[in-house]
Structure 1
Amino acid sequence: MSKLELIATSAFGIESIVARELSNLGYTETKVENGKVTFMANELGICRSNLWLRSSERVLLKIGEFKATTFEELFQQTKALPWENWLPIDAEFPVEGKSIKSKLFSVSDCQAIVKKAIVERLKAVYGISWFKETGTCYKVEVALLKDIATLTIDTSGVGLHKRGYRQLAGQAPLKETLAAAMVQLSYWKADRALIDPFCGTGTIPLEAAMIAQNRAPGLKREFISEKWGNISDKYWQQAREEAHDLYHPDIDLHIYGSDIDPKALQLARTHAEEAGLKDKVFFQKLPAAEVRSRFQYGHIITNPPYGERLGEIDDVKKLYEDLGNTFRELPTWSLHVITTFKNPEDMIGRRWDKSRKLYNGRLECHYYQFFGPKPPRKPKPETLIDSETL
C-alpha cells in the first residue's frame, strides 16, 4: 500500500476534534490548520477515515502543493504532478476552486488552467487527444491560499455530514458533523443521561447515540472512492468489517429530545427509525421550562433558537431564561449550548466555565459550557480473601 497525504476538512473551531478522531483511528502523523487536518495514511486509511470521521466535512487526497503567483506557474506545476496515478483514461474530472488572499484571484480562470494542465499531462501519458470522461468521477479542487496552490481529489463524494438517516430536514437544521463535535466536546459518557430541550429534528440526540454505540457514522452510506479502481475492494471490505465488529447496538442509553414543534418531532422520530435508533432515543412535545429528569450527573446539549430576526429577541431571551431555570432544577447536571448570543450567563443565571468559537453554517457562534459537579467515583471492588488463609 502507498503512503498518501490526506486532508480531512472541517468547520472552523472543531479541527482539534477531527485530529482527535484521527488519533483514535491510529493516524497520529497530523498537521492541524484552519479548517483542515492533514494526515498520512494509505489506501485503507481512505476507507477508514471516510467511514469513521464524525466531525469532518470530507476527506481529500492531496496530489500536490506549490507556490503560484502567475497562471503560467499554475499551469506548469499542475502539469508536472502525477495525475495518471489516480485518473484512469475514462475518468470524469471536474475542477472546482477557491482563492483567498492570492494574486490569482479569478477562480474560474484557475479552474480552467488546472483542467487544461491535467488534460495535457494525460495526453502525453495515454497517447490520446480527447477524453470522453464517461467513467467514475474524480472531483479535483484547486485551493489557493496566500499564493500557495493545493491540488486535491475528493474521496468522499457527498459530504460526510450525510449519514444516510436524515433524508428530510426541518428549518435551519444543525449539521450532523457539528452536532457530533458538540457531543464530543462535552465529554458526555454513554452511561449518563443526555437531554436536548430544543431538539428540532433530533440531530444532537441521534449523533450522541451513535457515538455511544461506537457506530461508524458512514456505515449506512457509500463514498465516491468506492468506485475507484485505484483502491482495492478488499480495503473497503476490511474497513466495513472492522466497523461492524466495533459497533455495539445493544448498549443501554438514556437519551431524550424535546421540542414544542410537532412537525420537527415527527421528523426526529422518522430519523431515529431510519437510523435504527427508534428504541434508543426518545422524543416528546415539551417546552424547555418543563424539562426534568430523575437521573443525576447528566448533560444538556442543545442548539436553541438564535433570534436573528427583528422582533424575535425578547421571545428567544425568554427561552434562554426557561433553559436556565431548568438547569437550576438539575443541580448535578452540565449544560452545553451553542448560540450567537454574547452573554448567555445573563439569562442562564450563572457564569459559563468554558467558551469556544464555532460556526453553524456561516453564523459565528460560541459554544458555552456550564459544568456541573463531577460524579462520585465508583468504589473499587473489595478484594476477596480466602478465610482459610487467615
Structure 2
Amino acid sequence: MNFLKYVSPCHFGLESVLAGELKRMGANNVVAHNGKVTFSGDYSMMARANINLRTAERVLIELGSFKACTFDELFTGTQKIQLESFIGSKDAFPVKGWSLNSQLRSIPDCQSIIKKALVERMKKHYHMEWFPETGAVHQIQFSIHNDEVTIMLDTTGPGLHKRGYRVNSNAAPIKETLAAGIIDLARVRDRSVFYDPFCGSGTFVIEAAMKALNIPPCLKRKFAAQNYPMFEPQLWAEERTRALDLIKRDAEFFAYGSDIDPLAVELTKENAKKAGVFSKILVTQKDIVDFDMKSETGIICCNPPYGERMLELQQAEEIYKKMGRVFEETEHANIYIISPSEKFENIYGKKATKRRKLYNGMIKCQLYMYFNKM
C-alpha cells in the first residue's frame, strides 16, 4: 500500500476544523500548522480528501523538504526529489510558489531554479535533453518559510472552494470553504434548523444543508490527479460510491434564507438547485427588521454587509444596530456573525460570548459568537 504525506492549505483560523475533518475520515498523522494541515494516507485517502473536505483549499503531495539559504542549496535540494515517480516524460510540470521570512526572497528566481533542477533530474532519468510538456499538467508548488523549502505536487486543480454550484454570485460572497468552517464551528447537525438573513448567493444555507445531509462538497467535479497515471480511475469511482453511501437522505435539517435584494433571493434559489439541496431551503425576500424564527431553537449564521467607503460604512453600522435589536428577541438561538469591524460589538449592542479571528480572503475578520439557551 502506497502511503504519502499530504499538505492541505486552509483559511487562517480554521486549522483545527480541517484537522478534525481529516481525523474523522481516517487520515493518519494529522498535524495542524499555521494556514495548513499535514496528514498521511494511501492513494484512496488523497481521493477521499479531495471529494469530501469542506474547509481545505486543496490537497498537495509533499515530494520533499529541506533547508536552503542560497540558490545553490535550493538547486541541490530540489534535484534530489524523485519527480519521475509522479511525472512522465511528456507531462507538463509548471512551478509556482511563495517565500516568507527567508533569505531566498525572489519568487521568479526560485521558480526558475526549482524548474531547472527538476528538469536536470528528469534528463538523467529519462535520458532526454528536451521535454515537450504536452501531457497532463502536474502543477508543482513550493513554499519557503524560515528558510525551510517544501516542494509539493497539486492533486486538486482549481481550488476546492469551487464546488460547482455557485457559477453566479453577488458582489461580496463569502468563500465556500470559509462558510463551511463557520458552519462546522456552529455545530450544524442533521436535525438543525438554520437561518441566514443576509443570504446573498446562498453560500451559508447551501453549505449548511450539504453538511447536515453529509453531501460531499466536490462529489461531482473533477480533479487534476484524475489525469495522473498512478491514480487509477477505479480509485475515484470507489471513493465517490463510498461518499454517496454516507449521505443522510432522511435528515430533518431545514434552512431559512432571506435577503432584502430580490436578485439575491433568486440567486440563492438557483444555486441551491444546482447543489441539489433546494428542497431543504426556503428563501424569501425580507429586510433584517422583519426577521423571525420559525422554530423554537435554531442556528443563525450570517455575513452582513460592510462598507469601505464612508456612506457604505454608515449604512453597514445601521444594519448592525438593527441586527442587535432583532436578534435580542431570539432567546433560543446560537448566533454566528462574521465581520471585519472591530467596533461591531459596540454597534450591535452586546458583547460576544466568544470571538475567533478569521480571514475572508485578505480581509481580517472576527467571528462573533453569541450562545443562548437552546
Q: TM-score, normalised by structure 2?
A: 0.98
Number of the residue aligned with 1:74: 74
Partner of 1:355: 355
Aligned to 1:303: 303
1:62 alignment counterpart:
62
For residues 188 and 349 of structure 1, the distance between their equivalents in structure 2, rounded to whole angstroms, comes to: 26
User: Is the counterpart of residue 14 in structure 1 residue 14 in structure 2?
Assistant: yes
Taking every aligned residue pair, what percent have the same amino acid on both sides? 39
Q: In the TM superposition, what whole-angstrom CA distance separates every residue of 1:87-139 from its partner, at most 9, and x where no partner exists?
A: 11111100002111111111001101111111110111111111101111110
User: Which residue of structure 2 lines up, in the alignment, with residue 105 of structure 1?
Assistant: 105
Count of residues paired in the alignment: 374
Aligned position for 2:136: 136
Q: 2: distance between equivalents of 1:24 and 1:8?
A: 15
- Cα separation, partners in 2 of 1:165 and 1:17, compared to 1, 3 Å: same
Q: Which runs of 5+ in 2 are unaligned?
A: none
Secondary structure of 2:183 counterpart: helix
Equivalent position of 1:88 in the other structure: 88
1:15-64: CA deviation from partner (whole Å, max 9, x where unpaired)? 11100000110114112111100001111111000011100100110000
Give the corresponding residue for 1:153.
Answer: 153
Identify the range of structure 1 (315-324 vs 206-215) with the bigger mean alpha-carbon deviation.
315-324
Name the CA distance, whole Å, in 2 between partners of 1:119 and 1:35: 30
How far 1:188 sits from its partner (Å)? 2.7
Structure 1, unaligned runs of 5 or more: 375-390
Letter of the structure 2 residue corresponding to residue 302 of structure 1:
C
Q: What do you get for the CA RMSD once the two structures are aligned?
A: 1.1
2:37 aligns with 37
Report the equivalent of 2:340: 340
3-state DSSP of counterpart to 1:177: helix
Q: Secondary structure of 2:279's match? A: coil
| Matched-pair contact (CA < 8 Å) for 1:297–1:372 | no
Kept after mapping to 2: 8 A contact 1:209/1:253: yes
Alignment of 1:1-390 (within 5 A): 1-374=1-374
Q: Give the residue type in structure 1 aligned to 2:161.
A: H
Give the secondary-structure state (helix, strand or coil) at the position aligned to 1:209.
helix
CA distance in 1, matches of 2:296, 2:140: 50
Cα distance, 1:250 vs. partner? 4.0
Partner of 1:379: none
Contact 2:93-2:139 at 8 Å conserved across structures: yes
Rg (Cα) greater in structure:
1
Q: Whole-Å Cα distance in 2 between the matches of residues 189 and 212 of structure 1?
A: 5
State whether residues 69 and 104 of structure 2, in contact with CA within 8 Å, keep that contact through their aligned partners in structure 1. yes
Distance 2:264 2:54 in 1: 23
